[in-house]
A = this chain, B = another copy of it.
């Protein structure tokens, strides 16, 4: 059977040997040209490129991956693509990856362990070269699976003594410090915290950073001023409901993420109260939306660009230096406060209630 079984002369999908034939060189030379091997003479390279143009040829990545063992695909698994924080993160990650010749495979787990397992499985099947596990929690079930396959991974806020695992540490203290200081300066002493789900590392770290900061600032935080929400808009609404049922309420609240904060904004409004007059609220993440809420949300900024860049760099380092004995790396992404309109001095009558 002949290799090229096309029945017509229609511009059928060109093949490396179609190119070779047209350029009158061997397929090896075509391969070398494509891969920018220095061992090709200018003359032949030119002929090859011309043939490539003419045929509108491009290599089959599956064949390439199969033989080279390298797919040039990176996986990125996020917690919830519906939280704008993540699309912004993915967008940055994609941009950097594509610029470096990598393709990305995106998946969202919605904090569902089964979905996560499925994602990882599919990524393993597709032979991704590394995975950025940006779920901020719940990654334990797949860690072994990934380790078996010796897969480079990067985790946020989760340390592992494995040379293939890099960590991105998020330093919330700077931002949270600034947030508390900002509130104190405005005259607040009763500051609450709407936490994220305790299953998320990020939620715990954020809460801890808050408590630590409050201690350092000699501010007491009443137990019921800390309420666990779920990082969603609805969760913020529910969180505020709990807070407003209290005898002594906080005059300001810091939220574990912006979605929660936006939910609070909404709930306060529905309760006939006003932000920031009746309650100051501060978010965390500083998603693009934060600037467009009513009132504009004061938020602790966590740079998606930095996080994406750190993730990519960690992965790339591991992928491209797999000989290096000490691959594990640690990155630090910091936070800072962006003051907008959702914070103000507490009303006197309320603050003494």
Within 8 Å CB of A293, what residues of B? 266, 293-294
Indicate if the CB atoms of A103 and B87 lie closer than 8 Å. Answer: no
Indicate if the CB atoms of B62 and A71 lie closer than 8 Å. Answer: yes
Within 8 Å CB of A87, what residues of B? 81-82, 84, 86-87
Please pick, from B71, B91, B121, B122, the residue contacting A82 in the complex, using a CB distance under 8 A. Answer: B91
Interface residues of A in 187-229 (CB under 8 A from B): none
Mask: chain A, 146-169; 1 = CB below 8 Å from B; 0 = not? 001100000000000000000000
Least CB distance, A348 to chain B, in whole angstroms: 25
Mask: chain A, 35-49; 1 = CB below 8 Å from B; 0 = not? 000000000000000
A6–B66 Cα distance when bound, in Å, is 17
A-B contact pairs, 16 of them (CB 8 A): A58-B121, A58-B124, A58-B125, A61-B127, A62-B62, A62-B71, A81-B90, A82-B84, A98-B122, A103-B105, A103-B122, A103-B126, A265-B292, A266-B296, A269-B294, A269-B295
Show the binding face of A for B, using Cβ within 8 Å. 11, 13, 56, 58-63, 65-66, 71, 81-82, 84, 86-88, 90-91, 94, 98, 103, 105-108, 118, 121-122, 124-127, 148-149, 233, 262-263, 265-266, 269, 288-289, 291-296
